[in-house]
Amino acid sequence: MGAKYPDGVDRRQKSREKLDALVSSRNATLALLTELAGRQPFNPEPSVEKALRAFCEALIDYTASAHFQLYRYLADNRERRSSVLSVADEVYPKIVETTDQILRFNDKYESMSLDNSVEFLAVDLSNLGECIAERIQLEDAVISAMAGSVH
């Protein structure tokens, strides 16, 4: 029994580290979203484009972090608790939908000049903000299950 306990602690510690990395990436993305949204009304100027590019980069990093830190961990059968797997199975299709929305936003704004799209940016950011809020709720459900708490 003594040999199993350290492995369990080590596995739980690794999952906590993955979740911490995800939350850190998420918080950095939210900070950049807030900074970008605070620049309204948007103008096609270099400082806005620079803030938008930084946000898009963080957004993709966060999305990838979620995939590799959380969902890949679950998909690789590293999680054994049925309660966690049940929550993950329930929310994963909705997570995929939010990922699709995030990728569409990124594809639209990653390299496009704001000269062509500045009038759509406020609405697109608002819609993306709602998408990210939904995603956070879904991720938090999985994180809570992994942490052993119920919300």
Question: Domains in the chain, start-ordered, CATH in brackets?
Answer: 4-147 (1.20.120.1370)
pLDDT of residue 13: 79
User: What pLDDT, on the 0 to 100 scale, is given for residue 2?
Assistant: 38
Q: Yes or no: say if 143 and 19 are a contact pair by the CB < 8 Å rule.
A: yes
Instruction: Give the gyration radius of the chain's Cα atoms.
Output: 18
Distance between CA atoms of residues 3 and 25, nearest Å: 34
Contacts of residues 11-19 at CB distance under 8 Å and 24 or more positions apart, as own/partner, are: 11/78, 15/73, 15/78, 15/79, 15/146, 18/69, 18/70, 18/73, 19/69, 19/70, 19/143, 19/146, 19/147
Nearest Cα to Cα of residue 111 among 35, 46, 49: 49
Q: What is the pLDDT of residue 58?
A: 96
Q: Dihedral angle at the C-alpha atoms of 75, 87, 130, 72, nearest 10 degrees?
A: -10
pLDDT tens string, the chain, 151 residues long: the values are 433 445 555 667 777 888 888 899 999 999 999 999 999 999 999 999 999 999 999 999 999 988 877 777 777 777 778 888 889 889 989 999 999 999 999 999 987 788 888 999 999 999 999 999 999 999 999 889 888 754 4
**What is the structure's pLDDT at 8?**
52
